[in-house]
Amino acid sequence: MSEFEPKIVAFCCNWCSYAGADGAGVARLQMPTNFRIIRTMCSARVDPEFILRSLAKGADGVIILGCHPADCHYIGGNYRARRRIALIRLVLEQYGFDPKRLRLEWVSASEGEKFQKTLTDFVNTIKELGPTPLQQEGE
Amino acid sequence: MSFFDRFRKKNDAGTAKKEVAKDVKKDAKTKTAPAVSGGSCYTKTAESISTAQLPAADLGELLPGAPPNGKINLAIYWAAACGGCDVSLLDINERILTVGDMANIVMWPIASDGKEHDIAAMEDGEITVSIISGAVRNTENEHMVKLLRKKSKIVVCYGACACFGGSPALANLVPGGKNEILDYVYKKIPSTANFQADYHKNSPVIPQTKYAAPEGELVLPTLYDTVRTLDQVIDVDYFVPGCPPLQESISYMLKAVADFAYGGVPLPPKGTTIGVVTRTLCEQCPRRKEYRRITKIVEPHEIDVDPELCLVDQGILCLGPATVGGCNARCTRAGQPCRGCYGPTTAVQEQGASALTAIASLFPVLDEDATMEEDKVIDIMSTIKDPLGYFYAFTMGKSLIKKSVTEKGGK
Number of CB atoms found within 10 A of residue A24's CB: 22
- In percent, the amount of chain A with pLDDT more than 90 equals 85
User: Is pLDDT above 80 for B59?
Assistant: no
DSSP code, position B184: I
User: Is pLDDT above 90 for B8?
Assistant: no
A139 confidence band (pLDDT: 50, 70, 90): very low
Cβ neighbours of residue B342 under 8 Å, at least 6 residues apart? B160, B241, B242, B276, B281, B323, B324, B325, B326, B327
How far apart are the C-alpha atoms of B326 and B160, rounded to whole Å? 13
Instruction: Give the mean model confidence (pLDDT) for residues B82-111.
Output: 87
Give whole-number Cα distances, B332 to B120, B288, B320, in Å: 44, 11, 9
- The pLDDT of residue B17: 42
Q: How far is CA A117 from the centre of its chain?
A: 13
Contact B58, B252 (CB under 8 A): no
Query: Searching chain A, which residue's CA lies closest to the CA of residue B357?
Result: A84
User: Is pLDDT above 50 for B326?
Assistant: yes
**Between residues B248 and B165, the one the model is more confident about:** B165
Q: Which residue among A47, A56, A91 places its CB closest to the CB of B388?
A: A91
A46-103 pLDDT, tens digit each: 999 999 999 999 999 999 999 998 889 998 899 999 999 999 999 999 999 999 999 9
Contact B339, B271 (CB under 8 A): no
Q: Which range is least confidently modeled, A35-39, B36-40, B255-259, B384-388?
A: B36-40
User: Is pLDDT above 80 for A13?
Assistant: yes
A109 confidence band (pLDDT: 50, 70, 90): very high
CB within 8 Å: B361 and A88: no
3-class DSSP state of B310: coil
- The pLDDT of residue B410: 59
Q: Which residue among A128, A131, A134 places its CB closest to the CB of B401?
A: A134
How far apart are the C-alpha atoms of B228 and B398, rounded to whole Å? 8
- The pLDDT of residue A40: 95
A68 domain residue, yes or no: yes
User: Is pLDDT above 80 for B9?
Assistant: no
A131 domain residue, yes or no: yes
Q: Which range is least confidently modeled, A63-67, B61-65, B79-83?
A: B61-65
A2 domain residue, yes or no: no
User: Is pLDDT above 80 for B32?
Assistant: no
Q: Which residue among A55, A76, A133 places its CB closest to the CB of B407?
A: A133
- The pLDDT of residue B202: 81
User: Is pLDDT above 80 for B13?
Assistant: no
- The pLDDT of residue B60: 57
Q: Which residues of B touch A (CB under 8 A)?
A: 173, 175, 348-350, 352-354, 356-357, 359-361, 363, 365, 369-372, 374, 377-378, 380-382, 384, 386-389, 391, 399-401, 403-411
- The pLDDT of residue B345: 92
How far does the CA of residue B204 sit from the closest CA of chain A (Å)? 29
CB within 8 Å: A130 and B407: yes
Of all helices (H) and strands (E), which one includes residue B254?
helix B247-263
User: Is pLDDT above 80 for B25?
Assistant: no
> Partners of B228 in the beta sheet?
B136
Query: Searching chain A, which residue's CA lies closest to the CA of residue B370?
Result: A69
Q: How many helices (H) and strands (E) does chain A have?
A: 5, 4
**Total of domains in chain A:** 1
- The pLDDT of residue B2: 46
CB within 8 Å: B388 and A87: no
How far apart are the C-alpha atoms of B209 and B187, rounded to whole Å? 17
How far apart are the C-alpha atoms of B164 and B159, rounded to whole Å? 8
Number of CB atoms found within 10 A of residue A136's CB: 13
B50 confidence band (pLDDT: 50, 70, 90): very low
How far does the CA of residue A53 sit from the closest CA of chain B (Å)? 6
Sheet hosting strand A61-66, strand order edge to edge: A35-40, A8-13, A61-66, A102-106
User: Is pLDDT above 60 for B36?
Assistant: no
CATH number of B72-168+226-263: 3.40.50.700
How far does the CA of residue B112 sit from the closest CA of chain A (Å)? 41
Residues spanned by the domain of A50: 8-138
- The pLDDT of residue B28: 41
A62 domain residue, yes or no: yes
A3 domain residue, yes or no: no
- In percent, the amount of chain B with pLDDT more than 90 equals 44
B7 confidence band (pLDDT: 50, 70, 90): very low
**Between residues A132 and B38, the one the model is more confident about:** A132
Q: Which of A42, A97, A32, A49 is nearest to A64 (CA)?
A: A42
3-class DSSP state of B365: coil
- The pLDDT of residue A104: 94
CATH number at residue A23: 3.40.50
Q: How many CB pairs under 8 A join A and B?
A: 114
How far apart are the C-alpha atoms of B348 and B340, rounded to whole Å? 14
B167-211 pLDDT, tens digit each: 999 999 998 888 999 999 998 888 888 888 888 888 888 888 899
Q: Provide DSSP, B112-155.
A: B---HHHHHTSPTT-EEEEEEESBEEEHHHHHHHHHHHHHEEEE
What's the CA dihedral at B257, B261, B266, B267 to 10 degrees?
20
B233-270 pLDDT, tens digit each: 999 999 999 999 988 888 888 888 888 888 888 888 99
B268-295 pLDDT, tens digit each: 899 899 888 889 999 989 999 998 888 8
CB within 8 Å: B370 and A69: yes
How far does the CA of residue B336 sit from the closest CA of chain A (Å)? 23
- The pLDDT of residue B208: 87
* CA dihedral sign, ordered A82, A52, B245, B251: positive
User: Is pLDDT above 80 for B157?
Assistant: yes
Q: Which range is least confidently modeled, B21-30, B147-156, B237-246, B363-372?
A: B21-30
Average pLDDT, chain B: 82
* CA dihedral sign, ordered B403, B406, B408, B410: positive
**Between helices B351-360 and A48-56, what is the axis angle to 10°?**
140
> Partners of A61 in the beta sheet?
A8
User: Is pLDDT above 80 for B21?
Assistant: no
Query: Searching chain A, which residue's CA lies closest to the CA of residue B358?
Result: A84
- In percent, the amount of chain B with pLDDT more than 70 equals 85
**Domain coordinates of chain B in residue numbers?**
72-168+226-263, 173-224, 278-398
Cβ neighbours of residue A77 under 8 Å, at least 6 residues apart? A13, A42, A43, A44, A45, A66, A67
B343 confidence band (pLDDT: 50, 70, 90): very high
Residues of B in contact with A127 (CB under 8 A): 410
* CA dihedral sign, ordered B316, B321, B326, B328: positive
State the Cα angle at B410 between B407 and B411, rounded to 5°. 140
User: Is pLDDT above 60 for B3?
Assistant: no
Residues of A in contact with B176 (CB under 8 A): none
Rg, chain A, Cα only: 15
